[in-house]
Chain A
Amino acid sequence: MLKQMRTNKRLQLLLGFLMGIFFGFFLQKGQVTRYDVLMGQLLLTDFTVVKVILTAILVGMLGIYPLKWYGLVTFHVKEGSLGSSGIGSLIFGIGFALLGYCPGTAVGAVGQGSLDALLGGIPGIMVGAAIYSVIYPIVRDKFQPLGNFGKITLPELFKVGEKKAVLAVSVLIIFVLSVLELVAF
């Protein structure tokens, strides 16, 4: 039944659309589609973004790991290296602070009427993606192999069981969120 669902292309397009509606709805309700909230996070004056993202990671992890243990879902762990994840994320981070939105929240910002995201951010991201498609062979050959650590997960890296890792990360996230609440950001 799941297999049939996942291979039905039309159904998947519809599901993608429906899930997108929820995604956009939650992002906007969480206020993380706002420039002021996103920049507040980067300026360390507003911790809404960290609260939303850590809660989502915690709840998400506590669902998808059990589903994986029962064989219901497959993970999609991306390959990483210092040359790709490291350099790429630094370029991304600088752009993030200049634009004040990331790709998903920029689309959400357009939904609430932010014209800077519509006319500046989104065309910019597409131009950036086009530039990358041209430089891709160089990045793939010269940068991405540097410091490759492959498709590994934290439990594999620290050689602990998945259940222990999930528990440890959960405790850590709850601890960080509690500290944030106590310091009253």
Chain B
Amino acid sequence: MQQPLNNHILRICLIAAITVFSLMLALPILTLAQTEDAGLHPAQLNASSGVIGFIKMKAWSPYAAGVGIGILSWFAFLFSNHPLGVSTAFAKTSGMLEKSLRGDQVLTRDYYQRFVPSIDWEWMLVVGLFCGALLSALLAGDFALSFLPPLWTERFGTGIWWRWLLAFGGGILIGIGARWANGCTSGHALSGTMQLAVSSWVTACGIFSAGIITALLIF
């Protein structure tokens, strides 16, 4: 008797989900069509037209962004049977790059036997992530090429190499740490914690403790 009930709920959920999803999808396209608004200040747009103004805002309330990410993860679980995660895609890209440089011998490593370097859902998620952030910045007139963040310049000055070195070195530690802990801020601190996974709450605490201590030491 369980089956018909489940199917019924499933159908309603799917219809509702697809409606919401396509609606969300249609909004940016509608915004792109309205080129005549491009010259206006984001704040003015916000005052004049609701949804489009909202999309063109430079920043949302953190709660609005959080609600968006939370709802997005329902769809990721429902349609793709996959939590939102990012760092495996880095490992796969790295594997694919090394394979193209050094040949198939790279793939014999145990790690690549377990996580086969290939283009999958998560890899496409990361490509989309880049496009989404670009879209958001462009629509808000907020896109700007810059190497030194203001807070960095305030503390460490304008040396580009120094910033590059810390970014690269930090990146290496992140790459090792994320795979060591089996997930990063997305896979553990976001998607894992919402499943109430113990490993994810431990990882999230570890990331923020070490991050806060290190940040306070270097600043």
Contact = CB atoms under 8 A, between A and B. Distances in A.
A16 to B, nearest CB: 3
Contact of A35 (B72, B126, B149): B149
A175 to B, nearest CB: 15
Given A30-B59, A90-B210, A102 B203 contact: no
Q: Is the interface of A mostly helix, strand, loop or mixed?
A: helix
Interface residues of A, number: 130
B110 A77 contact: no
Contacts of B79: 2, 5-6, 15
Given A57-B190, A84-B180, A107 B210 contact: no
A183 interface: no
A133 B62 CA distance: 36
A39 to B, nearest CB: 6
28 contacts: A2-B14, A13-B121, A15-B79, A15-B121, A28-B132, A39-B152, A42-B211, A56-B190, A57-B194, A73-B77, A75-B195, A80-B199, A85-B188, A88-B180, A88-B203, A91-B210, A92-B181, A95-B172, A97-B213, A97-B218, A104-B185, A107-B86, A108-B132, A115-B146, A120-B163, A124-B172, A126-B93, A132-B175
Given A21-B131, A22-B68, A85-B199, A112 B137 contact: yes
A54 B87 CA distance: 20
Interface string B148-164: 11111000000000011
A32 B135 CA distance: 15
Contact of A128 (B60, B110, B174, B182): B174
Size bracket of the B interface: 35 or more
A24 B167 contact: no
B51 interface: no
B201 to A, nearest CB: 7
Contacts, number: 549
B193 to A, nearest CB: 5
A29 B164 contact: no
Give the residue among A35, A67, A78 with the most B Cβ atoms within 10 A: A78
A102 B128 contact: no
A33 B219 CA distance: 20
Contacts of A54: 66
Among B69, B145, B186, B216, max chain A CB count under 10 A is at B69
B129 A115 contact: no
A134 B172 CA distance: 14
B65 A126 contact: no
Interface in B190-207: 190-207
B5 to A, nearest CB: 9
